[in-house]
Each structure stands twice: as C-alpha cells, then as structure tokens.
C-alpha cells in the first residue's frame, strides 16, 4: 500500500461545514494523483475530489494544478470552473473530478462531475444513500461533454457528502455511519474499501447544525 495521507482532524472551510479526507498513493509512488480540496467561498464551501489519470508524479501534477486553479477561482460558477480546469490541464494527463458547492445559507449543495469520481449525499436519517452526483463522461484536459449542467440538492443538518475516486469500492457509501468523528470515519472507509493498486481517496463533508459542531475530529 502506498503512503496514507489524511487530514488528522476535520477542517472547517465554513462554520456549518466540517470536512475530512483520507487518501493513499499507489504502491511504490511517493505522491498520490488523487487530490481533495475544501476551501471557503462566498456563502459556504467549495469541495472537490480530483483524480489525475493514471498514478505517480504526472497524475499528481495534473490534479494539483486543478486544485490550485479551483482554490483561486472558488466563487466562479461550477461549469466555468470545469471549463477553466479543462484549459489549465491541456497537455497534462488530464483528470476526472467532482465539484460540490455547499450554500450554507440556502442549505443546498450544487454538484457537477466529469469522469468517474463518485459523489453521494448520505442523509442524516439513514434510509439508504441519497442521490448520486451528476456524472458526465469525459476527461478534464482532453474532452469535455457537450453540456455542463450542475444539479442542486437540499441539505438537512447531519447530511454527509461523500466523494471517492475509482480506487475505492463504489459501495463505500453504504458503510458510512450516520454519525461519528469525520477524520476516523474517512480513514476507516479508505482502509476497508480500497480496491486494486491505484491511488485512492475518500472525502467526507458534514453539513451541521450548531449543536453538532463539536463532532468534527
């Protein structure tokens, strides 16, 4: 197994949004091509999971370039962010990515994904996984789909957004407990549901009511 990376404690890009990440590089690689992002934006937080194609230094360089661009333009519309990443990654390996903007004031999340980075909303009142993020075929930096149309979903306090790359079993959302400290949850999901020998990443983001905000580590 490659080196395991994690945010040991959940970070808060917004007071109502707690985020934790766990990732692992492919065996024999010093850097992972799967990169997570959580940054504050005007009304909440911008989250991303980026999977540079392949693995190793070239995949990591592509994913890190996309993450830097997203952080620099965090308040731009999601479709515009994907288009900017597409231009930025031209000539690189390219990447698959899922973007989510949490609007804490409106209690919504807006999703857009290109490629096979999974995104699911897991409701606080668990009755199965919530709707998956809209996923469009293509590779950012090589070929975008004809239309980039984000989808908005409502959030209630305690709902968890889960993003995972293709180095993680798609059934990972079914194993996510409704509550618990996000850091250990992310690390445990990655450890138990990693598959193959690719890079792998799990990113969790919980939308929280004020009384929940101590459960973040």
pLDDT at 9: 52
Residue 140 lies in a domain: yes
pLDDT at 11: 85
Phi, psi (deg, nearest 5) at residue 188: -65, -40
Q: How many helices (H) and strands (E) does the chain have?
A: 3, 12
Tell me the two tokens of residue 162: 């889960």
- What is the total count of domains within the chain? 1
Per-residue pLDDT reduced to its tens digit, 50-65: 999 988 899 999 999 9
Per-residue pLDDT reduced to its tens digit, 103-118: 999 999 999 999 889 8
Residue 17 lies in a domain: yes
pLDDT per position in the chain (217 positions), as tens? Answer: 344 455 445 689 999 999 999 999 999 898 999 999 999 999 999 999 999 998 889 999 999 999 999 999 999 999 999 999 999 999 999 999 999 999 999 999 999 999 889 899 988 876 555 666 666 778 898 888 888 989 999 999 999 999 999 999 988 888 887 678 899 999 999 999 998 888 999 999 999 966 455 555 4
CATH for 173: 3.60.40.10
Residue 217 lies in a domain: no
Element of type H or E holding 204: strand 200-207
Residue 176 lies in a domain: yes
Place of tokens 């400290």: 181
Q: What is the pTM of this model?
A: 0.90
Name the residue range of residue 207's domain: 4-212
pLDDT at 1: 39
Residue 114 lies in a domain: yes
Phi, psi (deg, nearest 5) at residue 161: -95, 130
Residue 36 lies in a domain: yes
């Amino acid at each position: 197994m490659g080196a395991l990376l994690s945010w040991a404690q959940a970070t808060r890009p917004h007071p109502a949004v707690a985020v934790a990440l766990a990732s692992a590089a492919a065996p024999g690689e010093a850097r992972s091509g799967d990169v997570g992002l959580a940054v504050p934006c005007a009304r909440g937080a911008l989250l991303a999971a980026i999977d540079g194609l392949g693995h190793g230094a070239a995949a990591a360089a592509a994913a890190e370039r996309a993450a830097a661009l997203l952080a620099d333009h965090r308040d731009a519309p999601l479709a515009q962010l994907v288009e900017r990443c597409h231009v930025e990654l031209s000539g690189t390996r390219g990447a698959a990515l899922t973007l989510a903007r949490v609007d804490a004031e409106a209690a919504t999340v807006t999703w857009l994904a290109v490629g096979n980075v999974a995104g699911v909303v897991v409701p606080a009142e668990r009755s199965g996984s919530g709707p998956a993020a809209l996923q469009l075929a293509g590779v950012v930096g090589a070929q975008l789909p004809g239309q980039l149309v984000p989808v908005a979903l409502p959030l209630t306090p305690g709902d968890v957004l889960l993003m995972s790359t293709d180095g993680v079993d798609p059934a990972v959302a079914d194993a996510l407990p409704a509550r618990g400290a996000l850091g250990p949850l992310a690390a445990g999901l990655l450890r138990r549901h990693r598959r193959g020998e690719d890079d792998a990443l799990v990113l969790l983001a919980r939308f929280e009511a004020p009384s929940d905000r101590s459960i973040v580590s």
